[in-house]
Structure 1
Amino acid sequence: MEPPLPVENTTAVVHSFDVLLAAFENQFNDRLFPQTPVNLYNAIDYLLKSGGKRIRPVLCLMGNVLMGPLQMDAFLAANALELFHNFTLAHDDVMEAATLRRGKPALHIKYSAPTAILTGDTLLLYAYDYLNRIQGRHKQKVVHLFNEAARAVCEGQQMDLDQEAQPLNVLTYNDYLHKVILKNAALLAVSLQMGAIIGGAGITDQEHIYIFGKNIGIALQLQEDHQEAFSEAPENLTRHRKNSLLLKTYEWSTPEQRSQLLALLSLPVTDAMPGLARLYKNCKTGEWVLREKERLQQTALQHLANISIPAVNKRPLQELTEILLGK
């Protein structure tokens, strides 16, 4: 597989998300899978072509060019990250009985739950196939980080299942935050760190890029919580999720407001949403979530600023942060 971009002379324009996204897509779309069993590989094709922002693989490439010339090993790591991410989606949708994914029928709806599970398992194996092709001396560290992040995602998913089964009075925002770090933020942070290691980052810079990614990952989840709470028709919202707004509202509510909250949670989601949105505003938890998102974003940018490279090299990640989270 030839590098989609020159590896010996990357320039500032190559650092941009859009350019690296195009480079990633060009080589990712050239991957070859067997043709049989037909249902298995058609299901893989359906899932991988169903859209998605490709945030994690492109962050891996951005982590690489942040620190040095673009390496083919970064594309191999990026492919592994994207395949692993889709593995988690296939399994999560089965566990959560989701009907839609990216605006289309979820994989287990389009095919079947057993096929969706096999699809995820197969994607995980292909992810490790890409990792095994990495050639540089950084291979052992990169694979170790991938394994750590993969385990965190699985632990976070179990915590998610556990928390959804627990009553509100035994959960706290810190419980939710711990789950978000494992399930959502860890893989995003490690995507950047893996790329930075391939690019030659030292230990201190690796720590800064990881913390940058972790805080961005948490902020993105809080932003999603807020959008979901105030959206007219959020995708796949068939039950009341125990997210940041719900937990903080329960914590901060007066006895009367808490009674209102519990009554609303006994209603179907679409019927309850207007009342919940009013309660979030009255308890000021909507405002708090936006402030917390902003705090996390600024913390992330401070760690990005602390990385020991020229400021111009950091601009693409700053711009991406603004696109994802706002200025």
Structure 2
Amino acid sequence: MARFLVLANDQDADGLLRTAANLRQSDGSDDCVHYAADVVTVQAQVLSGDIDEAVCLASDLLASGSSRGHWTVRAILLSLHFDILLLRGEPRRALAVLSACDPPVPPLVCVEVHRAMALQMMGDYRSVLRVTQPCLGRIAEHGLRAAVAIMLVRGVAQHRLGENVRARRSLTDGLRMAARGSLSSAAFVGLAGVDLSEVVRWLGDVTPEATVLLSQLERYRRSLSNPPLPFVVPVLTSREESLAWSIYHGASNKDIAEKDGVSVNTVKVQLSTLYRKLGVASREQALAFLDERDFFMSSVNEQLFCERLKRE
């Protein structure tokens, strides 16, 4: 495990693949060892930019049940799978995986920071700050990687919201912690879903180590064959979300008007507003746009997620 973490932080994909091969040869009958070797392979694929291969292997491993692999290894795999989905531009699917995780999310995984990364990619910056606010009061309880990621996602969200004084403080604290801990950009590949080039320019006066870290992360993002879009789905109002679901279920304008107690003309105006926000011109284009971005993944269950957080 220690060797895995060192190689991952050094971004040594070849070393990780050699480690995976050695694990498979060490005990051909130990299923847990083979499971760990596969998780090491997933990390190597992520560092190499083989995102499609990584998501397939990670999905298979998670689907195999909780009886395989030590809980620490499964926690690492869950984090990797979440990051991979963000790298593919699928934040809603990533949230669904986290919400539906069975058994519940292992203690090693910081639920709030993972969720915040997905929300940030969706452009919901207010929610990023909301879900990470509880972390600030117990930041010392987090591992270094999680603590740094919390400060970075909060800083980017604050910057996008125009809260520049708070943003500078959050980003500077996070980047300096990462530099002092000698963390590489491999620790934060989930943030590659956020276009950080603007932040890099804006924070030109932070420590050189911090600037190098941000630059490395941005280079990694550009190295992906299909870099994720920084804004996958615009933030929709509750009314716009309701309209989207109505047309998804095949409701006509008249059906929507009767259900919501408004006129058909009002529905037409509201749909036009939704189309403009999505950058489309018709109901069919809106459905295709949202479906391609996993907007209609009903397994993202907010109530289930909140109940799980209360139990933890």
Q: With structure 1 as the length reference, what TM-score do the two structures score?
A: 0.28
Tell me: higher relative CO, structure 1 or 2? Use CA pairs within 8 A at least 6 residues apart: 1
Q: With structure 2 as the length reference, what TM-score do the two structures score?
A: 0.29
